[in-house]
Structure 1
Amino acid sequence: MARPPRFDADQLLDAAVRLAAAGGPAAVTMSAVAQAVGAPSGSVYHRFAGRPALLAETWLRTVERFQEGCHAALVRESEPRRAARAVARQVVGWCRAHPEEAAVLLYGADDFGLADWSEEHTRRADLGNKRVFASLKALAESLGATDEPGRARVTLALVDLPLSVVRRHLRAGTPLPPYAEDLTEECTAALLG
């Protein structure tokens, strides 16, 4: 009977997230991840074909977890304005609960080597993006925002604004203020009228 692996993919990705949060995507190398968990380099190569796969999985797992929370907040509320406020709060709350992963999100897929990703990783990223854009479009329409400026206002209220509330604190390594969710919700409500 084969011995179970000592280091699973999630442990390695957790280490990659910590490295990226502390030193940016450039800090995420196969050997740095192996060293961070005390594993031989072969353990990392056993789980990921190479650095592009490691970077892709680090980014995708992080963004998929983030998006899942936002989608859950969106479907919990049937009234569009309450749903919008819930999503804005979720963005800030998720970043508070997951500061290292949130620091990863301050980068983009390009910073995590998107140009070198496999077709499967690129497809996963595209599907996630399409799901987000479809959700934002549907919410915008339910709010009566059917033109480009209206959709841009919804994106600003649900994506750009909440991330701007957390960005400064994440980059400085300081905790979010206790009122961050409330402030974000108030600003989102004001933007959406």
Structure 2
Amino acid sequence: MARPPRFDTNQLLDAAVRLAATAGPAAVTMSAVAAEVGAPSGSVYHRFPRRSTLLAEVWLRTVESFQRGYFEAIAARADAREAACAAARQVVAWSRAHPQEATVLLYGAEDFGRADWSQEHLRRADRDDRRVRAALASLAADLGAASPQATERVLLAVVDLPLSLVRRHLRTSDPLPAHAEDLAEECTAALLGSLPTEPASRPK
């Protein structure tokens, strides 16, 4: 009977996230990940045949983890304004629960070697990008954003604003304050205040 592997894929990716959060994507090497978990380098190469594969998986797993909660927060509210406020809260709440992963997302896919990713990883990244763009476009439409300026206001309210709050604390390694979720929601609601006062109800 084959002995189960001592180090699974998620353990290795968790170690890579720790390295990236502490010292940036450049610190994520095959040997560094192996040393982080106390594994032989062969354990890393067995699951990730090259460094570009490892970097792609670190980035994509982190993005997809964030997006799952973000989409769920939007979908859980029938009212579009409540959905927008929930989305802003989720950015902060997820970052509080996953500070290392949130620090990883302060970088971009290019910092994780996107130029060297496989076609499969590029397709996965493009799919994720399309999903978030579609979700935000749908939310903006539900909020009654009928002009480019109104759409920009929605994106500022549900993406840029909560991210800026998170980014400031992560970059200084300060814990997010207890009121951060409430502050993000209040600011989002204020920004959306000048949009139409009777947004369409969102389909369930």
Q: What TM-score does the superposition give when structure 1 sets the normalisation length?
A: 0.98
Count of aligned positions: 193
Q: How does 1:35-114 map to 2 (within 5 A)?
A: 35-114=35-114
SS, match of residue 67 in structure 1 = helix
Counterpart residue number, 2:15: 15
**Correspondences of 1:139-154 after superposition (within 5 Å):** 139-154=139-154
Q: Any unmatched runs of 5+ in structure 2?
A: 194-204
Q: Give distance in 2, aligned partners of 1:22 and 1:89.
A: 25
Q: Residue in 2 aligned with 1:184? A: 184
Partners of 1:150 and 1:75 lie apart in 2 by 21
**What's the CA shift for 1:187?**
0.6
Alpha-carbon distance between aligned partners in 2 of 1:158 and 1:50, rounded to the nearest angstrom: 36
1:119 aligns with 2:119: yes
Deviation digits for residues 33-79 of structure 1 (CA, Å, limit 9, x no counterpart): 00000000000000001110000000000000000000010111010
Q: Secondary structure of the residue that 1:6 maps to in structure 2? A: coil
Question: Which structure 2 residues correspond to residues 161-180 of structure 1 after superposition, within 5 A?
Answer: 161-180=161-180
What amino acid is aligned across from residue 49 of structure 1 in structure 2?
P
Counterparts of 1:139 and 1:30 in 2: how far apart (Å)? 41
- Determine the C-alpha separation between the residues in 2 that align with 1:146 and 1:134: 16
CA shift, 1:146, in A, is 2.7
How far apart, CA to CA, are the structure 2 residues paired with 1:112 and 1:61? 12
Secondary structure class of the residue paired with 2:176: coil
One-letter amino acid of the counterpart of residue 77, structure 2: E
Shift of 1:154: 1.2
Distance 2:120 2:39 in 1: 27
Percent identity between matched residues is 69
In the TM superposition, what is the alpha-carbon distance from 1:88 to its structure 2 partner?
0.2
Structure 1 position 112, deviation (Å): 0.5
TM-score of the aligned structures, taking structure 2 as reference length: 0.93
Take 2:80 and 2:145, find their aligned partners in 1: how far apart are those partners? Answer: 11
Q: Which moved more, 1:64-73 or 1:141-150?
A: 141-150
| Structure 1: gaps spanning 5 or more residues | none
Structure with max Cα Rg: 2
Instruction: Kindly report which structure 2 residues correspond to 1:21-32, keeping only aligned pairs within 5 A, or say none.
Output: 21-32=21-32
CA-based RMSD: 0.7
